[in-house]
Chains A and B, each alone.
Chain A
Amino acid sequence: MNTLTLSNLSFAYGSRTILNGASAGPLEPGKLTALIGPNASGKSTLFKVIAGLLTPTAGQVSLGQTDLATLSTKDRLSRIRFMPQFFAANAALTVFDVVMMAEKQLQGWRVTSQDMTRVAEALHDGGIGHLAEAYVSELSGGQSQMVSCVQALIRPADVYLFDEPTSALDLHHQLGVLGRIRDAVRARDAVGVVALHDLNLAARFADHLILLGQGRVLAEGPPNDVLRNPALAHTYGVDITIVPGPREELTVHAYAS
C-alpha cells in the first residue's frame, strides 16, 4: 500500500527557515489527515514540498517505497494532487473550462465526451453544477474554493493535498466540502491531507492529526491524543479545553491565556 512518509524535511527561503526537520507518517491510504498549526507554521510550504513545487534543502518524501524526488515532475503530479485554494480570478474562463483544464492534465487538444461527462458529474457532485457556465472572475471566494476542490478531486491520484479548503465557506458548505473530501479519500483509498485552521472541523473529520509549529512536527496521532497534547495549547499560545460534544465528537474550546 502507498503510505506517505515525510522524513526530516527542511526548507528555507534564503536565510528564513520555514521547515526545520519535519517528519510525519507513514500516513495510511483511505484515511484523512488534518494538518494543523498556527499561522506561519509552514503548512503551505510543507504542501508545496510534498507536491514537488519546492525542493527541500534536506529530507525526503516517499510514497510507499518510492522516493518522490526520483520521479519526473509529470509523474509526481499525476500521483499527487495539490490544489492551492485561491486563484487569480480575473480570467475569462468558465468554471467548466477550469475543471476541464484539470481533467485534461495539460495533455491533448481534443476534449472527448468522456471528459465532458466526468467534468459535468464532478461539478454536479461538488454542488457547483449551477455555476458551470459562470466565469471564474464572477465567483465569490467560497465558490472558487469549491471549484478548486472539484479540480483537485477530478483525477485519480495516490495523494490529495488541500490547503485550507474551507476558510471562505459558510458552515453548511464547510461540512459538505470536508465530507466529500473524506468520502473521496476513502473511496479511492488515497492518502488525504487537509490543512485546517478550525480545530473543531479537524476533530470532526480527520482520522489523524499532525500539529506543525515553527517548521517542525510537534505532535502526530489520532485527534484524541493530539488535541489533548499540551504542545497544542503552547503552540497556539492559548488555553485549550476539550469536551465531548453532543454527538460523541470532540469540541475544542480555546481561551486567551
Chain B
Amino acid sequence: MFHTTRVHGFTLAIAASATLLASAPEAFAEAVTLTDIAGREVTLPEMPDKIILGEGRMMYAVAPLTDGNPFEKIVGWKDDLVLYDPDAFRKFEAVFPDDAARIINFGNPYAGDFSIEAVLESEADLVLLDLGNLFKAEDTGLIEKLDKAGVATVFIDFRQNPTENAIPSMLILGRLLGEEKAAAEFIDFYIAQMRRVTNVVQSVPNDEKPLVFIENAAGWNTDFCCWTFGSFNYGRFVELAGGVNYGSTKFSGYSTEVNLEGIIAADPDVIIGTGANWAEAKPEVTATLLGYEGEPAENDKRLVALAERNGFKDLRAVQDGRMHSIYHQFYNSPYHFIAIQQIAKWLHPDEFEDLDPQATFDELHARFMPYDNSGQFWLSMDAPASN
C-alpha cells in the first residue's frame, strides 16, 4: 500500500510513514463511500489502486488530476482512445512508453469480449464506466457480475451532460485517485475558464444570437448528412457560447439525424462540424483529422471538401466564411470549456476579441498535463475568393 518511492533514507522513510498515517488514515484504513454520477452509492473497502477504464478516453480526465504518471493506478481500458484519438494515445505513449504497452485492452465492457475473468486476473478493484452506458451496464448484468467478483463500479460522465457533470465527475475521480487537491485545482481552472464565456454571454440579447448548425462527426458517413445534437453536448456548448442551436429548435433529445433540406431552408449563420483522427480506424472518412497531430494544410483541404458537398456550398454560412471545424473529442472530455471558448469567439468575434482559446489550451497543458500541446484542434474556412 505504500507508494513512497522517493524515500532515500531510513529517517525519511519513517517520517513519510508517519505523515501518511497522521494525515490520511482513512485513505487506506477505511472504506471509501461516495455517490456516483448515476446516483448510486458505492462503497469501496479501501482506496482503489488497480483501475480499469470503461473508455480509454477517460484518460483525458485522469491525466490532469495525477501529478507524475497518470497510468500509475490504471491496469486496463477499452481501446477507443487508440482507435478514435490515436494522436492523444501517442502523446501518452511518448511520455510513458512502458505504461502504454502494459495497459490491457479489456474491450467493450458491454460486449461479450469483456471477460470478468480477465478483470479478476488483473486484480482490478474498480471499473469506471460512463453514464451514457448505464442502461447497457444494467441490462447486461455487468454491475452485478463485477460486484459479485468484488470489483466496484463507478459511473462518471463527460458526454451525456458534460457541462453539468464534469465538475462532480472530476470530484469523484479526485477522491478515487486520492487527488482531491489536484481535482480542486482543475475545477477552479474549469470554472474560471467557463465564466470567461458565460459572464459575457449573459448580456448578449437573444436576437443577437446567431443560428448555429452543429454537424456531429462531419464526414464520418461519406454518403450522408447530417447528424446533430439537441440541447446536449455540443448543442449545449453552442447555447452557452451565445448561439441558437439548430438541433435544439427541432427536437428535445440528445442527438439525431436531420435532413439536409431543413438546414438549407433554415440557412444557419454558422456551421460547425466536429472531426477527429478517425482515418486510422476508418480510412474512408472525409472528416477533418483534428487532434495533437492535426496538420493545418491537410485539414484545410478536408474542410473545403466538406463545404463543397452538394447542398452545402451555397449555404450562407459557407459563402460568408462562417463554416468551422472543431475537435470532436471535446465532447467527451473535461476540457470542453476550450470548445465553448472557441465557439464563443466564432459567434461573437467582437465581444470575445481578447479571448485566446489557444492560450487557454496551452495553459491547461502546462499546468495539468504530462505532455505539451501540439497539432490543430479547430479551423475555419475562408470565404470563397470568388464572392
Question: Do A and B touch (CB < 8 Å)?
Answer: no
Query: Chain B residues in contact with chain A, CB under 8 A?
Result: none
